[in-house]
Copies of this chain bind each other. A is one copy, B any other.
Amino acid sequence: MEPLTSAGHTLYFESGLVALKNLIESHQYSKVFVLTDEHTSEVCLPVFQSFLEDFQEFDLIETAAGEENKNIDFCIGIWKTLLDFEADRKSLMINLGGGVITDMGGFIASTYKRGIDFINVPTTLLSQVDASVGGKTGIDVDTVKNMVGTFTLPQMVFIETEFLKTLPPRELLSGFAEMIKHGLIADKAYYERLKTTDYLNPAAIDIYRSVEIKNEVVTIDPHEKNLRKILNFGHTIGHAVESYSLANDENPLTHGEAIAIGFVCEAALSIKNSTLTQPELKDISEYILSLYPKYHIRKESFDSLLELMKSDKKNEDGNILFSLLESTGKCTFNCRVATADILSSLEYYNSL
């Protein structure tokens, strides 16, 4: 597949990391570091090395897996490790893992000695279709997601479906939600195509289309001043539900499961506050419920959810702002919505 150019760096698809080999050879990095988590060092690192003809000349830095470890303590530990390994400004960091690794590794690289080169090799569907493009790096502080980070582009990104073969089904389904989102906000035909797709075997061509859509949007608006906000469709309510679930449920929702709920709720909001039609809402709701487990949004959580939405990073001047669908495949942003409508949309989801 042809590489895709994004704001000065290149995304390679199913290319077997050849460009990475060339970069390492030509660039004379003083040292190469590979950052993994405990899972990706086991299942992805061998694949990665085989792609690079048994590449060995790197130092491995392994962290614990999971969002709860995307925090400043791990950054401090890894900054110090880099120093212990004598990483200088001409060092290269390769982030091999899901969004936690590419986000945190990107933040660490973009700030270590005021910035060293880094390369992302996303190994989850979510990180391939979403975190792979746009230059956002970040970590959580306390429970606030991505409270600290930078906008910094990796040198290159490599997207290889080979890595997905070991990914658990629930993680595949989680990433698939972002693909559905790309269809909903920007490409109706793509959305219709996804409906006939098996999320357990995502095709490289669909991943490519998702990355292409996101790339178009972030190229126009890299710093999320306006258009980029459409990528938050489903996320205002979805994030709140996700945070609430994380704090209160024994088996919390994945990001994808939560934003899928967000799609339904915010599609419902789009009926009243934008131009989405009732049949479109019905279609979206049915498709989401056919794929994602039904969740019950507890009535006693509604106030907390509203509070969480208010503290969303994307708000300005304390107003909750939504990205809403004008139709299937078209999205608008900066929509103010009455609190009563938000609550009705939660009720609507529950009523399905």
**Interface residues in chain A, defined as those with a beta carbon under 8 Å from any beta carbon in chain B:** 30, 72, 76, 79-80, 83, 86, 88-90, 107, 110-115, 136-138, 141-142, 144, 146-151, 223, 311, 313-318
Contacts and interface: CB of A to CB of B under 8 A. Distances in A.
Number of copies: 2
A16 to B, nearest CB: 29
Contacts of A138: 114
Nearest to A135: B114
Q: Is the interface of A mostly helix, strand, loop or mixed?
A: loop
26 contacts: A30-B317, A30-B318, A72-B72, A72-B76, A76-B141, A79-B141, A79-B147, A80-B141, A83-B141, A83-B144, A88-B313, A88-B318, A89-B314, A89-B316, A107-B111, A110-B150, A111-B111, A111-B149, A111-B150, A112-B147, A112-B148, A113-B148, A113-B313, A114-B150, A115-B150, A115-B151
A31 to B, nearest CB: 9
A136 to B, nearest CB: 6
B316 A90 contact: yes
A286 B64 CA distance: 57
Contacts of A318: 30, 86, 88
B315 A142 contact: no
B151 A88 contact: no
Contacts of A137: 114
Nearest to A72: B76
